[in-house]
Chains A and B, each alone.
Chain A
Amino acid sequence: MLNTPAKYFGLLVVCLLIPAGLVFMWLKGAGTRLAETQDAASEVAIASASEDAYCTPQLKQILRRVAGACGLLEGGARGCKPADAKNVAALSGDDFNALFKPLSHRAMLIQFDADQGILDQEGMTAVEKAWSDQRGASFFFVVSRASPDGNPEHNQTLSQDRAQAVLTHLETKFQDPEIKKEVGLLWLGEEFAQLSEDFCKWTRSRGTECTEKDINRSALVAWIDCAI
């Protein structure tokens, strides 16, 4: 029995050392693993602007040229003349329009009355809806046109008014200082990249009948999901 000091202390040491040894062993194991552990955050995705599948290197190159020429990349108020668009894009009108075809699910065609640069109620609502669907996109393009009626100079001014009407409405509605850094205006008048009647099938601000002339009295608005 427990009748000697040795036995007594032996029992005490066993009862104390077993848990102490286990605790020490567990702590050492945790310490070793901790030292070996890599930064957990390094395996987690990092928040970034979106980059959609249609953002091919070729498309991004053209978008960058257009955006740069139009001042988007400098972050100020902007606007491109039709000649600029033709020069920097170095594309035919059809090829230029083809750039925007992958955006059909994101774009909205804001329609205007003939010879008018004022947004109607449907147009305002459509612009707001398109704007609120930014998601991860960095740039909001407004590409306005005019139908071939009238002289080219007047139509150039008219399409500029239409693009400006969209920007003004966004600024009035959202009063967001960031807008100027995100919205790029491109007015094409009647000279370049006229839309075919096929674009009548895209989402439009008006549900009315649509001809080729109607669809060119418009501003195409869309967020571009490319990190340019």
Chain B
Amino acid sequence: MSDYPIIDDDRAPPPAPAAGPAGLTQKLAWVVAAASLLGAVFSALSTSDFINHLDRQVHSIHCSFIPGAHAELGESGCRTVMMSPYSSLFRESLWGGMPISLLALAVFSYLTFRAVSFALRGPLTKGESTFLLAAAALPLVMSVIYGFIAATRIHAVCKLCVGVYVTSTIAFVAALIAHLKTAPEETWDPERKQPGTWFGEGVVFVAVLALLYAVASPTSEKTLKGCGTLVRKDDVGGVFIPFGGKGNTQSIAVLDPLCPACRAFDQRLEASGLINRLKLDMVLFPLDSTCNWMVKESLHPGACAVSEAMLCDKDAAPQVLEYAFANQEALRDEASRDEAALRRRLEQKFPKVKGCLGSAAIKNKLNKSLRWAVANALPVLTPQLFVGDKRVCDEDTDLGLEFTLASMLREPSGKGRGKR
């Protein structure tokens, strides 16, 4: 038997395209190849966007049904999906993890190769069509799973992903029709064991790209060293708010309740599951000039009022924060128009804060929270995370959060090993 799998000594290449159903299966193989190639392009664009962010900067990303269309810098469904914990695997082992789109690229590249090699040889045999159908089912199944996650968990639509879903469906439908049209008598010879070889080739495609990614993804020692340390980690002013976690590693999150990045950070932290390995306290740092003299104008109007409410009733602070995160835009808009109205709304929603909200004592307490940031010379931004007294670099709080946290928790002294 030959070493390479396709050369078919028993079945000479057809001299001309076959007519009838046999010819149709060949054409459908080309359709599978074309759809797979398009899927590979969508996956490649998505992978390229993901890899771009491994330099820890903010980049424009592609988000269009037209492959190669202009990349966008602002918020988009594609960015939301990319920054979600579902966009990659092995996030605790690799900075950012291994993007799902890379695996999709490998699968689509392989599917393209497989469909082209079948099509070039002529009408499909039953064995070939069966394998092609099984291979095309993989991206379709993954598309269904990720489409469901996007709709129910991430609540965002990524146009590149939709491109992948559509091309997966086309490839599968074409493969299915080809399989149905393939003559049953053209059964594959089990002694040739070609499906096993074909499967092995597919594994090679995935393995090569995955290994290449794992080996060549950029590293930085800064991630484990952190970006500064706390000078005063004690809570002299009684401003720390318990934030959750059942672990032993004392950690502090510096948050603004109306900051979208803080909400996303909270979601990532929650989704990572690593919060359970921390004993996390929160320090409020509202980027609202009403109380924060360090910002010239309010980046998040109303954040001072919400922060006061959280400090007024620390037991209910997680509920206040959850409410604020869920209604950030509305609360900011209301505060821009009439901050008193926002305060009334908070009193209505959380009656325990009534009488405390806006009082001299609670303003003083919030001021102490801000002065804790001054005492530690923190950058004027949110969110910030300290594990022990080590500050997680800002660029490690999004895609690299799981890797950074897991590494810091493994090696609290900062002598962690591994990528980055």
A residues sitting closer than 8 Å to B (CB atoms) are 1-5, 8-9, 11-12, 15-16, 18-20, 22-24, 26-31, 33-35, 37, 39-41, 44-50, 128-129, 131-136, 173-174, 176-178, 225
User: Are A30 and B209 in contact, CB atoms less than 8 angstroms apart?
Assistant: no
A39 to chain B, nearest CB (A): 7
User: Are A48 and B113 in contact, CB atoms less than 8 angstroms apart?
Assistant: no
A58 to chain B, nearest CB (A): 23
Tell me whether B208 is interfacial, beta carbon within 8 Å: yes
- Binary contact readout B206-221 vs A (1 if CB under 8 angstroms, 0 otherwise): 0011001100111110
Tell me whether B325 is interfacial, beta carbon within 8 Å: no
User: Are A34 and B54 in contact, CB atoms less than 8 angstroms apart?
Assistant: yes
User: Are A46 and B227 in contact, CB atoms less than 8 angstroms apart?
Assistant: no
- Docked complex: B348-373 residues within 8 A CB-CB of A: 359-361, 363-364, 367-368, 370-371, 373
Q: Please indicate the chain B residues that have their CB under 8 angstroms from the CB of A15 in the complex.
A: 109-110, 112-113, 116, 205
B206 to chain A, nearest CB (A): 10
User: Are B51 and A23 in contact, CB atoms less than 8 angstroms apart?
Assistant: yes
Q: Please indicate the chain B residues that have their CB under 8 angstroms from the CB of A134 in the complex.
A: 364, 367
Tell me whether B73 is interfacial, beta carbon within 8 Å: no
Q: Chain A residue with minimal CB distance to B53?
A: A30
User: Are A2 and B209 in contact, CB atoms less than 8 angstroms apart?
Assistant: no
CA of A28 to CA of B361, assembled, Å: 55
User: Are B7 and A8 in contact, CB atoms less than 8 angstroms apart?
Assistant: yes
| Residue in B3, B220, B364, B373 whose beta carbon sits within 8 Å of that of A176 in the complex | B364
User: Are A47 and B370 in contact, CB atoms less than 8 angstroms apart?
Assistant: yes
User: Are B57 and A33 in contact, CB atoms less than 8 angstroms apart?
Assistant: yes
| Residue in B47, B121, B368 whose beta carbon sits within 8 Å of that of A23 in the complex | B47
CA of A156 to CA of B8, assembled, Å: 112
User: Are A23 and B212 in contact, CB atoms less than 8 angstroms apart?
Assistant: yes
* 11 A-B residue pairs with CB within 8 Å: A2-B117, A19-B109, A19-B209, A27-B51, A27-B216, A31-B54, A31-B216, A47-B373, A50-B293, A131-B364, A135-B291
User: Are B213 and A4 in contact, CB atoms less than 8 angstroms apart?
Assistant: no
Q: Please indicate the chain B residues that have their CB under 8 angstroms from the CB of A177 in the complex.
A: 236
Q: Please indicate the chain A residues that have their CB under 8 angstroms from the CB of B54 in the complex.
A: 27, 30-31, 34
B residues sitting closer than 8 Å to A (CB atoms) are 2-8, 12-13, 40, 44, 47-48, 51-57, 102, 105-106, 109-110, 112-113, 116-117, 120-122, 201, 204-205, 208-209, 212-213, 216-220, 222, 227-228, 236-237, 285, 291, 293-294, 359-361, 363-364, 367-368, 370-371, 373-374, 376-381, 393-395
Number of A-B contacts (CB under 8 A): 176
Known: A16-B109, A34-B56, A136-B294. A174 touches B7 (CB 8 A): no
Chain B CB within 10 Å, residue with most, of A19, A34, A37, A177: A19
CA of A173 to CA of B365, assembled, Å: 13
User: Are A46 and B293 in contact, CB atoms less than 8 angstroms apart?
Assistant: no
| Residue in B122, B285, B359, B379 whose beta carbon sits within 8 Å of that of A45 in the complex | B379
User: Are A24 and B109 in contact, CB atoms less than 8 angstroms apart?
Assistant: no
B188 to chain A, nearest CB (A): 17
| Ranked 3 nearest A-B pairs via Cβ | A31-B218, A132-B360, A15-B113
| Residue in A27, A48, A131 whose beta carbon sits within 8 Å of that of B217 in the complex | A27
B374 to chain A, nearest CB (A): 5
Known: A12-B201, A19-B40. A135 touches B57 (CB 8 A): no
CA of A131 to CA of B367, assembled, Å: 11
User: Are A40 and B395 in contact, CB atoms less than 8 angstroms apart?
Assistant: yes
A43 to chain B, nearest CB (A): 9
Q: Please indicate the chain B residues that have their CB under 8 angstroms from the CB of A9 in the complex.
A: 4
User: Are B364 and A22 in contact, CB atoms less than 8 angstroms apart?
Assistant: no
User: Are B364 and A8 in contact, CB atoms less than 8 angstroms apart?
Assistant: no
| Residue in B116, B121, B227 whose beta carbon sits within 8 Å of that of A41 in the complex | B227
CA of A143 to CA of B377, assembled, Å: 31
A135 to chain B, nearest CB (A): 4
User: Are A46 and B379 in contact, CB atoms less than 8 angstroms apart?
Assistant: yes
User: Are B44 and A19 in contact, CB atoms less than 8 angstroms apart?
Assistant: yes
| Residue in A12, A18, A31, A44 whose beta carbon sits within 8 Å of that of B380 in the complex | A44
Q: Please indicate the chain B residues that have their CB under 8 angstroms from the CB of A131 in the complex.
A: 360, 364
User: Are B105 and A19 in contact, CB atoms less than 8 angstroms apart?
Assistant: yes
User: Are A136 and B57 in contact, CB atoms less than 8 angstroms apart?
Assistant: no
User: Are A18 and B109 in contact, CB atoms less than 8 angstroms apart?
Assistant: yes
User: Are B380 and A19 in contact, CB atoms less than 8 angstroms apart?
Assistant: no
CA of A11 to CA of B113, assembled, Å: 7
